């Protein structure tokens, strides 16, 4: 099965999902305050502060092992944020989001057994242009 077969894109990107809406609004607030052009680590730190201030539970830099033929391999993969133990969030601060970034999000979602993921690129003039939501 291909990753593209697993991906289901929501037809209306403005559709508000109660699982992702508070994360998106937190990221928008961070972008509104900081703007584009900083390192990913700065946005991660600020977003964590914003999520905490809104009472959302999250984990940072969650270790993601790879299981190959029943053997657990430590390949150094880490999920940027896992919010409410349900939404996997990958952060970027890049000139443009590439297909490999989306593939990374989808693969991490599959490996972590999570059905909802956000890819947030802070290096855009308007953050709404930098948010990609995927559902498996």
Cα–Cα nearest to 82, from 113, 42, 36: 113
Cα–Cα nearest to 61, from 100, 25, 97, 90: 90
Number of domains into which the chain is organized: 1
pTM exceeds 0.85 for this model? yes
pLDDT of residue 16: 79
- List pLDDT tens digits, range 34-72: 999 999 999 999 999 999 999 999 999 999 999 999 999
Q: Which long-range contacts (CB under 8 A, 24 or more apart) does 66-71 make?
A: 66/111
Chain mean position to CA 82: 8
The answer as to whether 70 is a domain residue is yes
The answer as to whether 126 is a domain residue is yes
- List pLDDT tens digits, range 100-133: 999 999 999 999 999 999 999 999 999 999 999 9
The answer as to whether 13 is a domain residue is no
User: 111 burial class (0-12, 13-18, 19+ CB within 10 angstroms)?
Assistant: middle
Q: Which domain holds residue 110?
A: 18-135
The answer as to whether 3 is a domain residue is no
The answer as to whether 67 is a domain residue is yes
**What confidence category does residue 15 fall into, taking pLDDT thresholds of 50, 70 and 90?**
low
């Amino acid at each position: 099965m291909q990753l593209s077969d697993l991906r289901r894109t929501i037809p209306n990107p403005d559709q508000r999902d109660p699982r992702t809406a508070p994360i998106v609004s937190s990221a928008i607030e961070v972008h509104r305050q900081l703007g584009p052009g900083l390192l990913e680590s700065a946005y991660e730190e600020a977003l964590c502060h914003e999520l905490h201030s809104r009472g959302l539970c999250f984990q940072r830099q969650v270790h993601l092992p790879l299981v190959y033929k029943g053997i657990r391999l430590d390949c150094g993969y880490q999920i940027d944020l896992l919010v409410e133990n349900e939404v996997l969030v990958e952060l970027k601060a890049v000139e443009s989001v590439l297909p490999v970034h989306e593939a990374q999000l989808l693969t991490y979602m599959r490996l972590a057994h999570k059905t909802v993921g956000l890819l947030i690129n802070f290096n855009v003039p308007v953050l709404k242009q930098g948010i990609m939501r995927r559902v498996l």
